[in-house]
Structure 1
């Protein structure tokens, strides 16, 4: 089969590698934060820092956004993060939304799943969008923040030293920080930074420089990843084929992407040579067989072919002195369940506000230990789900193969076993064991339901009231990269209202981002200032809220604390406890 390859329908801009003015081979400008790796995680972190007024420099080895087939799915949780960073519209315009999928055993459908999606949601459960498109949308926003985000293209890290930075005479410059050894073209140079964040992927140079190792499980099974150009009106959904006629004895996954690009992943059998398996003469007939079995008869062309091997690995800690790790540099998660890029974006969201508070001098550096605690916990949750999915998608042993065949064989007739086929798509993880939760005043039995400390807020439709008019909004529209107090009902006590106003003024003077929002159950309970109306009472019910209830939300959208009858003083103590942990 002879089919000419097509390029991706995307032409990235190329960027020059420019060396800043140097003094004795060193950039004399010390950076608050140096981010190594300009992929989705690094750029999300840079934008999160910029929203808090923190300068950063992105160090990227390539000359453009990525090429090839990498991450292809963005979750609702990641879209919520992009919403707070002001970049979500581009993703919604470009991405293909989907809410479920189907699984087939041989030629019969055996499982169908749907992710949570009702009228209260403002964002789809998932969108399909290629990583090069993800990176370009983020880069466009990065360039709009050129006053706070500097990008050093075609620049590689060749070494890292922590401790006192030194000038050319060996005299300490400052007591803490890190020095990066860099190379741009033929020029070797150094950069000093107060903090370094490694977002440089699975082959992290920073991780290697510190002598750190990922631990966990590496799977032997391999998948061939093929991107093709195919114009089809088929709906966007996740398709999984087990032991299909097109690939007997293994598995095929199919995802539709924007711009007529389709991603097809198929498992190699144990007796197949991976090097031979990626040769076009071996790949193209199998792709044609997959398309034939799907009933796709349109013309198609190959774009990209590569091989993937699943890993379930993590560092034990994500903070090492002045160096922090995020994304694939910190953990490698199997692609099944689309947790890779999404978990890295969640890393950046968690780290962004904490590192900004430390750099801005309003929090103890110990706050960054909570980043490691929470995100290592999240990684282990993701790895647990990812390993279960991997062991079903690509059985690592004869026993797992027998189990899978039994489940698939029974699923067509017995609904009880179908849940075992569930791909366990990525979801928001609650930090149930976070050290920050200790600041919460949530006595046992105070709330019968509602998001507990560490949980992510659910979505809900609301109305914003101002001067007698109302605008339809969602709960996530109220969240910004700041601490947010959700006050249910307005106190009639003027002293209480004055205390909240004083709290706002105090935190503003201290440089701590904060806002308080009053949530009324009906129009008659509005405060004098603009109020958010829970017109259906749904949010009050979901949060088990009564007049006086306060939920304090962290800048990353997780609950920090909640009180049945909360006050400005309670809120101030909880924020102070979190920042000085």
Structure 2
């Protein structure tokens, strides 16, 4: 995105705090301390990666070119899967307290509503399917979580503001980094560098790497406005509206009476003209008049221009340099896969990098990060591209097909389903580091899928609470005490953190006691019986599952998930 506004002091009640640059301890222009991890970019993905590493006791330095959190709504839709990740990072309560939950979308063709979708939103779910929360709040709350980590473990995450990376080169043992600040330049060194520096990634360009994929001609103007409207929080889309023919308009409600409006520039429209105050005023007022809210006072807050694209690097690991978020891939805004994919990147990468640094895991585990997240990109891109081709037709042929679909959708509901924006969903990995499923399960999350969350009781306790600790979780259903002790003995010599948690009916000797009714729901969701076991990775994905596992089979599955031989893991533990 290209921001056309100046420096903001506040948006609604949100006040920007500016952070001063600083210099670390130096000797002849070189930082005296060498770091395990340097993260380039202090946006949501970089901060989430730092928090993810901190969960495993790994320190990091975050280099951020700006002196504050971002301006404008930017990535504003947070999925249920991302909320699960943010919970592990310690910031979800703030996200939920401020964010606006929503589950419904409506689409209009000219003057008629032609499609409506509802995302599953059961009262028994721990998190809503989606919340709207501006990116500046997202970054602010992640910084608050970092402050909490540093309060208990000083120096765990060092965020360096107003500092720009001006050079990156690899060495035999890591990465050399050149950093510019208002106080002068210095050189630093790290064993690993994680590039989270966005779509115009300096690190990516320095390495001569390019994103490859599909770019779209359609351009969208984004306008944040302050408007005291009582309209509900839902996704609304207008195709070829009578008040702005030949365009598509999207509108989302956000906290603090901030509304985000995206509209497609028509052929011949100039982006610079569209961002002028006069054009913004004319468009927004015309749109609000048309939807019955033109009588309300409003003011513009932030504007930007966006061009859709689905592109990726061919590898997210290049030696000791790793890429995540928009530095690794670009996603269209439709279906809200951009930041949500970035959170998944951070979640997948953090535990693997931590295990390589601290637990003797082979560096090949990081190649697994790259393989899984590129697999996720292609799955996300397939859905996003279908949505984008509908929202922003790449040719006259697509345009005619969309027009035909929309014109028939009002009277033919089956056709209307083609208007579905296909919101982001959790990805199932099929990586070779997972244990193949061969133990007779007929239902439940297969290896590679995300563990299903289930309410344990009526008091707000959920199955995901069982596997919140950093590390692997052996999730057992009705496991006897003797079998649990046997598994614990078999796993005791492993170098990586593993916890065994048994869920069972009240009256038994289990870590989590539930009613018979709750146990039936859980075992049904997991296709499990008494004594069944799931191995859950630190990122909440299933690594393996069995009905009657031996301790050795669980040990082998953990080593496989870590891309490391058992004897290496045990040696790391002994040392």
**Fold match by TM threshold 0.5:** yes
Instruction: Choose which of 434, 443, 454 in structure 2 pairs with 1:460.
Output: 454
Deviation at 1:119, TM superposition (A): 3.2
In structure 1, the residue corresponding to 2:411 is in which secondary structure? coil
Mapped to 1, the partners of 2:16 and 2:256 lie a distance apart of 15
With the length of structure 1 as denominator, give the TM-score of the two structures: 0.92
Deviation at 1:475, TM superposition (A): 1.6
Counterpart residue number, 1:486: 475
Judged with a 3 Å threshold, the aligned counterparts in structure 2 of structure 1 residues 327 and 21 are, in CA distance, closer, same or farther, namely same
Counterpart residue number, 1:517: 501
Deviation at 1:471, TM superposition (A): 5.0
Mapped to 2, the partners of 1:503 and 1:56 lie a distance apart of 33
Mapped to 2, the partners of 1:530 and 1:558 lie a distance apart of 20
Counterpart residue number, 2:158: 150
Deviation at 1:199, TM superposition (A): 0.1
Mapped to 1, the partners of 2:382 and 2:283 lie a distance apart of 31
Deviations 1:169-210 (A, max 9, x none): xxxxxxx11111111125121111000000000000100111
- Mapping of residues 275-314 of structure 1, within 5 Å: 275-296=272-293, 297-314=295-312
Instruction: Choose which of 198, 201, 209 in structure 2 pairs with 1:201.
Output: 198
Mapped to 1, the partners of 2:561 and 2:176 lie a distance apart of 30
Judged with a 3 Å threshold, the aligned counterparts in structure 2 of structure 1 residues 207 and 81 are, in CA distance, closer, same or farther, namely same
Mapped to 2, the partners of 1:306 and 1:42 lie a distance apart of 22
Deviation at 1:528, TM superposition (A): 5.9
- Mapping of residues 328-347 of structure 1, within 5 Å: 328-347=326-345
Counterpart residue number, 2:358: 360
Deviations 1:470-503 (A, max 9, x none): 95411222222321111111226x3x23213324
Deviations 1:244-299 (A, max 9, x none): 12211110000000000000011111121221121121121111121122211311
Counterpart residue number, 1:404: 402
Deviations 1:410-445 (A, max 9, x none): 11111111111001111111002x1211x34x217x
In structure 2, the residue corresponding to 1:478 is in which secondary structure? helix
Unmatched runs of 5 consecutive residues or more in structure 1: 165-175, 464-469
Contact 1:49 1:356 in 2 (8 A): yes
Deviation at 1:355, TM superposition (A): 0.4
Contact 2:226 2:258 in 1 (8 A): yes
Instruction: Choose which of 474, 479, 486 in structure 1 pairs with 2:462.
Output: 474
Contact 1:252 1:264 in 2 (8 A): yes
2:509 aligned with 1:527: yes
Contact 1:26 1:191 in 2 (8 A): yes
- Report the count of equivalent residues: 549
Deviations 1:123-166 (A, max 9, x none): 000000100000000011112223210111111111111123xx
Instruction: Choose which of 124, 135, 143 in structure 2 pairs with 1:131.
Output: 135
Contact 2:113 2:410 in 1 (8 A): yes
Contact 1:250 1:394 in 2 (8 A): no
Contact 2:491 2:555 in 1 (8 A): no
Mapped to 2, the partners of 1:153 and 1:410 lie a distance apart of 53
In structure 1, the residue corresponding to 2:221 is in which secondary structure? strand
Judged with a 3 Å threshold, the aligned counterparts in structure 2 of structure 1 residues 473 and 67 are, in CA distance, closer, same or farther, namely same
Contact 2:433 2:563 in 1 (8 A): no
Contact 1:253 1:265 in 2 (8 A): yes
In structure 1, the residue corresponding to 2:27 is in which secondary structure? coil
- Mapping of residues 144-543 of structure 1, within 5 Å: 144-146=148-150, 147=154, 148-164=156-172, 176-296=173-293, 297-432=295-430, 434-437=431-434, 439-440=435-436, 442-443=437-438, 446-463=440-457, 472-480=460-468, 481-491=470-480, 494=482, 496-503=483-490, 505-507=492-494, 510=495, 512-520=496-504, 522-524=505-507, 526-527=508-509, 530-533=512-515, 535-536=517-518, 537-543=520-526
In structure 1, the residue corresponding to 2:31 is in which secondary structure? coil
Contact 1:115 1:125 in 2 (8 A): yes
Deviations 1:378-397 (A, max 9, x none): 11111111111111111111
In structure 2, the residue corresponding to 1:443 is in which secondary structure? coil
Mapped to 1, the partners of 2:399 and 2:523 lie a distance apart of 48
Deviation at 1:531, TM superposition (A): 3.5
Deviation at 1:59, TM superposition (A): 0.5
Judged with a 3 Å threshold, the aligned counterparts in structure 2 of structure 1 residues 383 and 580 are, in CA distance, closer, same or farther, namely closer
Mapped to 2, the partners of 1:84 and 1:504 lie a distance apart of 24
2:49 aligned with 1:45: yes
Counterpart residue number, 1:116: 120
Mapped to 1, the partners of 2:516 and 2:466 lie a distance apart of 13
Mapped to 2, the partners of 1:542 and 1:498 lie a distance apart of 26
Over the aligned positions, Cα root-mean-square deviation in angstroms equals 1.7
Mapped to 2, the partners of 1:515 and 1:154 lie a distance apart of 41
2:88 aligned with 1:63: no
Counterpart residue number, 1:466: none
With the length of structure 2 as denominator, give the TM-score of the two structures: 0.93
Contact 2:479 2:532 in 1 (8 A): no
Instruction: Choose which of 88, 107, 112 in structure 2 pairs with 1:103.
Output: 107
